[in-house]
């Protein structure tokens, strides 16, 4: 990250830290919690310091993966994305986005291979 981007992030965190928790959206609270987790002394072992990107919700994951929400619902129902689920708060699901992409790509490749085998 460049210096200008880091300054913008620092300003956003500073603004969030002054906002009462009861006035924060869930996303703002998650951002602040992630920041606090990253700034702890043992952050080297935390997944967030290793470049893990979490997305909140089916819609956000669909945008991240570049597919439809119905596709995400379908592969989630089949259990394909179970390993990528970080947490579930109420109806909102937090996904480890890179892992979800890896799992979805593996599933997609497996389906292609099955179609090729059945066509031969």
Chain CA centroid to CA 46, Å: 15
| Tens-place pLDDT, residues 81-110 | 999 999 888 888 889 999 999 999 999 999
pLDDT of residue 45: 38
User: Residues 72, 58: contact at Cβ < 8 Å?
Assistant: yes
* Residue predicted with more confidence, 56 or 37: 56
User: Residues 57, 69: contact at Cβ < 8 Å?
Assistant: no
* Element of type H or E holding 88: strand 85-89
pLDDT of residue 26: 79
Alpha-carbon span 76 to 84, nearest angstrom: 10
Structure pTM?
0.56
What would the two tokens of residue 45 be?
């072992």
Alpha-carbon span 65 to 67, nearest angstrom: 6
pLDDT of residue 3: 59
What would the two tokens of residue 47 be?
């997944």
Q: Flag whether pLDDT at 46 surpasses 50.
A: no
| Tens-place pLDDT, residues 11-23 | 676 776 777 878 8
Percent of the chain with pLDDT over 70: 73
Whose CA is closest to 64, among 12, 102, 19?
102
Summary mean pLDDT of the chain: 78
Alpha-carbon span 90 to 117, nearest angstrom: 41
* Residue predicted with more confidence, 36 or 77: 77
């Amino acid at each position: 990250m460049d210096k200008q981007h880091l300054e913008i992030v620092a300003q956003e965190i500073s603004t969030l830290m002054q906002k009462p928790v009861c006035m924060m959206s869930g996303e703002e609270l998650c951002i602040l919690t992630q920041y606090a987790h990253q700034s702890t002394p043992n952050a080297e072992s935390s997944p967030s310091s290793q470049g893990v990107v979490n997305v909140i919700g089916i819609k956000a994951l669909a945008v991240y993966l570049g597919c439809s929400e119905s596709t995400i619902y379908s592969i989630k129902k089949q259990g394909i994305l179970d390993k990528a689920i970080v947490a579930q708060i109420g109806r909102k699901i937090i996904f480890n986005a890179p892992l979800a992409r890896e799992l979805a790509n593996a599933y997609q490749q497996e389906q292609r291979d099955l179609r090729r085998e059945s066509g031969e």
